[in-house]
Structure 1
Amino acid sequence: MSPSSAPTRRPPREERVAQAFVFLADTLVDDFDLPDFLHDFTAYCTDLLDADGAGVMLADKDGRMRLLASSDETARLLELFEIDGDQGPCLTAFRTGETIEHCHLATADTRWSLFAERAYRDGYRSAHAIPMRLRGQVIGVLNLFSRNPDPLTGPHQKLGRALADVVTIALVQHRIINDHRTLAEQLQTAFATRLDIEQAKGLLAERHRIDAAEAFQRMRRHARRTNRKLSELAADITAGRATLPDPEP
């Protein structure tokens, strides 16, 4: 069960942890949708790791980092800023394969001063980057942003590492099962899909006069109600073949 489809009653933390691992480990469903899957992953991370923002960057076939999912618009823009500026804890975690923490973002760090200034201006006080690796190969990074300046607690560090590991394994598993396509090919498709989603989100926000976050949530709900992949609906919206119904009054 994904966070967005959870019942109104908030289950105990232990139950939510179990739900996360069951959901994240299953990529064998016929309608598996990578961008939607990774968005749910970021939602689990913000819930279970007490983070205020989360995102997933994955490497393309040329080793360049691409943003595939984020928990909200603030985190998304910060991660794009990090990629464009080619500096930040997330990129360092990818290059070194080591978990990177930058607590107390108000404190200068010569490695990524521009990133720290932007993150602090966005309201974050610490950043935590966990590499997504399998057998020594780093395929991406899980990024966590917090309004708390302190480092992750020991239990949260272990859980964050476990969540990143299970998603990495799930992505590789899906590659093997899904017609033996290479991970690079999957990611290349996902990058193009992400562009469709961002364009559709912008069109819907302008058309319905709502913010980007609400446009994305409406698109996800409509895709699920109509039993369609989010990526397919986004492509139809950008091509003018589909739109969303107005919300009920």
Structure 2
Amino acid sequence: MPVPPTPGPGPANSSAPGFSRERRVSAALIDLADTLVADFDPADFLYRVTEHCMNLLEIGDAGVMLAADDGPLRLVAASSERVRLVELFELDASEGPCCTAFRQATAIDHTNLDIPSPRWPRFSACAHHAGYTSVHATPVRLRDQTLGVLNLFRRVPGTLPEADRHLARALADATAISLLQQTTLDQHRTLQAQLHQALESRNIIEQAKGFLTARHHTDPDVAFNRLRAHARHHHLRLTELSRDIVDGTTILPPPTSKGPVAEGA
């Protein structure tokens, strides 16, 4: 099951089902463009990208991969634990439409996972076993610079609808532009530093998610939603809160607790 989107601040709240699709699209693009701030959080930004994909496109899950310093692709955001595991398998196997889309800098479709693919046999089996039936991958790029790939997993066979394909391209382009424009804030901050920060942030977030999963005997998706909701409620950076939870300086009560949201250790 996909992770229920967590409403974000400002225009992103217009992603609620009661709003027209046109208004939700506008709100998403405005939200993704609103990154020229001193406290820009790349980790939370990339998770918002997956949320907008879930809100606007006919998909079951979404993920974002990025590469830094001409290095290998790395997973930096995923809409659920299920798709996270599939994406990690794809990277480990070095095969799949997402990897191909990045290498070729063009959109790639895998329209029916029920039929074994000679092109990506291990990925096809893994994604099908996880409950997905088709995949659309589109590169995150600006002109001739490819930063990563946006991966859209569906539970119905066939290609992504044409309108959704164009919107996925727009969301991927907006992601690339937002990441690149961040370099104008500080001459000493480079795009590569931001990508490295996003990759490093993901590691500590995964540690905190695993800690909460074990401590509260819950599943990873519930743990992550609680982690992110607490960060937003208290205006904390997701990475900093995750580090405090791992260090033991912040404690979140179990999901059933009626007490305060968190307390200092």
Q: RMSD between aligned alpha carbons?
A: 1.6
1:72-111 CA distance string (max 9 Å, x none): 1111111000001110000000101110001011222222
Aligned mates of 2:194, 2:100 — CA distance in 1? 24
Aligned mates of 1:47, 1:178 — CA distance in 2? 32
Q: Which residue is 2:41 aligned to?
A: 33
Q: Which residue is 1:169 aligned to?
A: 177
Note the C-alpha offset of 1:114. 0.4
Asked if the contact 1:3/1:44 (under 8 Å) is kept, the reply is: no
Asked if the contact 1:38/1:56 (under 8 Å) is kept, the reply is: yes
> Which amino acid is 1:207 matched to?
R
> Which amino acid is 2:44 matched to?
D
Aligned mates of 1:82, 1:178 — CA distance in 2? 35
In structure 2, which of residues 118, 127, 132 is the aligned counterpart of residue 124 of structure 1? 132
In structure 1, which of residues 137, 142, 146 is the aligned counterpart of residue 154 of structure 2? 146
**Structure 2 residue ranges without an equivalent (≥5):** 259-265
Note the C-alpha offset of 1:30. 3.1
Q: Relative to structure 1, is the Cα distance of residues 30 and 212 closer, same or farther in structure 2, using a 3 angstrom cutoff?
A: same
Aligned mates of 2:214, 2:92 — CA distance in 1? 25
Q: Percent identity?
A: 47
1:87 aligns with 2:61: no
1:16-56 CA distance string (max 9 Å, x none): 11110110111113332111111111011122111101000
Q: Which residue is 1:198 aligned to?
A: 206
Q: Which residue is 2:143 aligned to?
A: 135
User: TM-score under structure 1 normalisation?
Assistant: 0.95
Q: Which residue is 2:237 aligned to?
A: 229
1:109 aligns with 2:112: no
**Structure 1 residue ranges without an equivalent (≥5):** none
Aligned mates of 2:147, 2:77 — CA distance in 1? 14
> Which amino acid is 1:112 matched to?
W
> Which amino acid is 1:204 matched to?
L
Q: 59-68 or 94-103, which moves further after superposition?
A: 59-68
Count of residue pairs the alignment pairs up:
248
